[in-house]
Chains A and B, each alone.
Chain A
């Protein structure tokens, strides 16, 4: 008799725990969320795949909710520790409800394409707590794109912007690097990034994002990867589309496409030397390029 009673009592406890845990799952499911998830905006189309937000629920809860929160508002449990005012150098998680994204191929102020979000998930955001989620399958990433979109009403009423046209990358020449420096000076990149690209321009310490939080400009010399991709085309896109939500504007009205490539080559010459910018560094050395002088 005694042999049987102990396991039975233990099993009662186990059943109670299972029931509790099932009940706890309901806390993150709301009627509102279901309505959004069932809307046409809660889908994505990228690389021939159709993403379904419903399918992403598990992966969002597993990988994303800790930072971005159950409501997608960037207020996950660890968000307070990522606040730059608490932990300098960190970045608050993205608030998906605003529908504002840094890394886009589309003009400033517009929604990004599904592919932009897909690439951001797979690439991660360097120097932030957003990891590289490239272990996910393409379908899982497409599903997460759809999930991200379901948080903001902007996706219900707006279409993504049309991606900017990027002309083919020209051959790098000394003239182009020199011309790029002229562009760097003319559009005053140095005000934030500094005359040597060291993020120490006169405005650097005053920068704030759209939510009033302190933000630092990119330091080209530190050897880090740009947040929105490391290819020349990615760099081109960054200053031609701007990083929405940050003080980095779009220069599409100030820089012609051909000049944009010149600027790319010059920016590469400022970067910490690596195997991808050896040519730019060599040209800058041969030219004897000195840092721009804002007050000639």
Chain B
């Protein structure tokens, strides 16, 4: 190791050591400050909720101690928490790069080859302003303005809720933009890398499919009923959602709705803890045809609804105080129209596509998604896209200040939208039926999260993390075979995650 490198390693070590013994911060996370409880009371490691935190949330952010209403709080209490995460990360992805060999006038960059492109450096997450609490006993709210790293803000969560209506914990309602009642919460996961920071199962969309409206990990706009037993062992919920993936202004998916249903049951298993198993179903419709004006799709005019569903099991299995395993399975299906890329013709929300300007655009037109205008027929061989997804997250809690997490996602196509008899160009530009494995995903993510201190005032975690992501057929095209290769990326990250 050369001297500058040794210097870098030394500096990094000193910084980490200094942070490991950092004194108590003076800032105050909202709920911990209100109730004087440590982060660990509600969080396995913040922000992952434990069973007590889940009960607290289900009660409308109330301890139910007759001191929940704001009238009981010190007038200076301000229910706001800020969270931001400086990071250092090293990203690697296989990319088709020019080799500058065999340069000709017709090929000024020469040949190309698939190579791993790496980059590293210090970086920053966005900033979250969490504000929530009780407006009055059994009436609470949550507002989360969130920015990307460039400080462009949006409202991640905005909702008000009424709890214990008619004095029963079985009747609670909330309305607004909120996270679905996922037992394994993506909004509370601690993964921070680009791919390991989400559950792939919650966002999976088959290659070429344009149904963005079935992503369980995205906050959705709608109304949710939640009922739970007094000790929160039994939980049931039903949500009526707009099929717009949480986007405002009724631009996408207007005039279409979906329903998300969940049930889970906690089982007392003595020394092992509370085991929780459950199931969910998300079914609904979304528009595939947007009326046009001079050939241009009109936002908010969606009709021609087609169906989709997601269904699966959830499990939260505690094997004693130190180890727990979380499981989510999913069986998903999108109507054949979605499978052929219809359903998102007015996408202007930065998902990578742009509005088609006229009629039916071929899938191969870069960045342009088709509109199901009158007279449109599906190509021969089109069929529903069907897949299965599996998420496993194992956590080892060494103590409330230190946790190890390993997370694995597997997404497996069981039926491609371009089936036998399909002769057109597929989503990767290859004619004919799609390979059965196209779009399959494997993701491995391991991390270690250490809280140098544990208090009711602020939270800080030091988190090294490593993620490997693979998706079949979506990588750079092999210049020899003309086929898509397996997309392969990895990320090593060290973060200072703090909330105050």
| A-to-B contact residues, CB < 8 Å | 2-3, 5-14, 16-18, 20-22, 24-25, 49, 55, 58-59, 61-63, 65-67, 77-78, 81-82, 87, 89, 124-140, 223-225, 275
Name the residue on A nearest B401 (C-beta).
A21
- Structural contact, B494 and A14, CB atoms closer than 8 A: yes
Name the residue on B nearest A93 (C-beta).
B36
Instruction: List B contacts of A6 (CB < 8 A).
Output: 5, 8, 90, 120
Contacts A/B (CB < 8 Å), 24 sampled: A6-B5, A7-B492, A9-B8, A9-B12, A11-B464, A13-B17, A14-B16, A17-B462, A21-B401, A21-B450, A22-B402, A49-B270, A58-B322, A63-B52, A66-B36, A66-B38, A77-B38, A126-B66, A128-B67, A131-B65, A134-B231, A135-B266, A137-B273, A224-B66
Task: Tell me the dominant secondary structure on chain B's binding face.
Answer: mixed
Instruction: List A contacts of B88 (CB < 8 A).
Output: 10
Contacts A132-B64, A137-B268; A17 near B36 (Cβ below 8 A): no
Interface string of B46-85 (1 = CB under 8 A from A): 0000111011000000011111000010100000000000
- Structural contact, A61 and B399, CB atoms closer than 8 A: yes
Contacts A78-B456, A124-B65, A127-B67; A58 near B321 (Cβ below 8 A): yes
Asked if B455 is at the interface (CB within 8 A of a chain A CB), the reply is yes
- Structural contact, A131 and B52, CB atoms closer than 8 A: yes
Instruction: List A contacts of B50 (CB < 8 A).
Output: 62
- Structural contact, A21 and B13, CB atoms closer than 8 A: no
> Considering the chains assembled together, what is the distance between the CA atoms of A126 and B16 in angstroms?
42
Q: Of B35, B452, B464, which one neighbours A129 at CB under 8 angstroms? A: B35
- Structural contact, A62 and B462, CB atoms closer than 8 A: no
Name the residue on A nearest B36 (C-beta).
A78
Closest 7 CB pairs between A and B?
A: A9-B9, A139-B270, A78-B36, A13-B16, A66-B38, A134-B231, A135-B51
Name the residue on B nearest A65 (C-beta).
B38
Q: Of A18, A24, A87, which one neighbours B74 at CB under 8 angstroms? A: A87
> Considering the chains assembled together, what is the distance between the CA atoms of A59 and B400 in angstroms?
9
Asked if B364 is at the interface (CB within 8 A of a chain A CB), the reply is no
B391-409 residues at the A interface, CB under 8 angstroms = 397-402
Asked if B387 is at the interface (CB within 8 A of a chain A CB), the reply is no
Instruction: List B contacts of A9 (CB < 8 A).
Output: 5, 8-9, 12-13
Of A12, A20, A126, the most chain B CB neighbours within 10 A belong to: A20
- Structural contact, B1 and A5, CB atoms closer than 8 A: yes
Asked if B311 is at the interface (CB within 8 A of a chain A CB), the reply is no
Contacts A66-B41, A127-B66; A2 near B5 (Cβ below 8 A): yes
Instruction: List A contacts of B322 (CB < 8 A).
Output: 58
Contacts A16-B13, A17-B20; A62 near B41 (Cβ below 8 A): yes
> Considering the chains assembled together, what is the distance between the CA atoms of A225 and B64 in angstroms?
11
Name the residue on B nearest A63 (C-beta).
B41
Contacts A20-B21, A21-B450, A58-B399; A127 near B65 (Cβ below 8 A): yes
> Considering the chains assembled together, what is the distance between the CA atoms of A127 and B137 in angstroms?
13
Name the residue on A nearest B67 (C-beta).
A127
Instruction: List A contacts of B162 (CB < 8 A).
Output: none
Q: Of A5, A13, A135, which one neighbours B5 at CB under 8 angstroms? A: A5
Name the residue on A nearest B462 (C-beta).
A17
Instruction: List B contacts of A24 (CB < 8 A).
Output: 401
> Within the complex, what minimum Cβ distance (angstroms) separates A127 from chain B?
5
- Structural contact, B17 and A5, CB atoms closer than 8 A: no
> Considering the chains assembled together, what is the distance between the CA atoms of A59 and B90 in angstroms?
37
> Within the complex, what minimum Cβ distance (angstroms) separates B64 from chain A?
6
Instruction: List A contacts of B13 (CB < 8 A).
Output: 9, 12-13, 16
17 more CB-based (< 8 A) A-B contacts, given A14-B16, A128-B65, A224-B66: A6-B5, A9-B8, A13-B17, A21-B401, A58-B399, A78-B38, A81-B36, A130-B65, A131-B65, A132-B64, A134-B230, A136-B51, A137-B268, A137-B272, A137-B273, A140-B271, A225-B66
Asked if B316 is at the interface (CB within 8 A of a chain A CB), the reply is no
> Within the complex, what minimum Cβ distance (angstroms) separates A122 from chain B?
8
Instruction: List A contacts of B55 (CB < 8 A).
Output: 135
- Structural contact, A61 and B118, CB atoms closer than 8 A: no
> Considering the chains assembled together, what is the distance between the CA atoms of A20 and B36 in angstroms?
27
Interface string of B435-455 (1 = CB under 8 A from A): 000000000000010101001
Interface string of B155-167 (1 = CB under 8 A from A): 0000000000001
Instruction: List A contacts of B401 (CB < 8 A).
Output: 21, 24-25
Name the residue on B nearest A5 (C-beta).
B5
Interface string of B83-103 (1 = CB under 8 A from A): 000001010000000000000
> Considering the chains assembled together, what is the distance between the CA atoms of A7 and B244 in angstroms?
41
Contacts A5-B9, A10-B494, A62-B40; A139 near B271 (Cβ below 8 A): yes
Instruction: List A contacts of B54 (CB < 8 A).
Output: 135
- Structural contact, A82 and B36, CB atoms closer than 8 A: yes
Name the residue on A nearest B494 (C-beta).
A10
Instruction: List A contacts of B492 (CB < 8 A).
Output: 7, 10
> Considering the chains assembled together, what is the distance between the CA atoms of A223 and B167 in angstroms?
13
Asked if B319 is at the interface (CB within 8 A of a chain A CB), the reply is no
> Considering the chains assembled together, what is the distance between the CA atoms of A275 and B166 in angstroms?
12
Name the residue on A nearest B74 (C-beta).
A87
- Structural contact, B74 and A8, CB atoms closer than 8 A: no
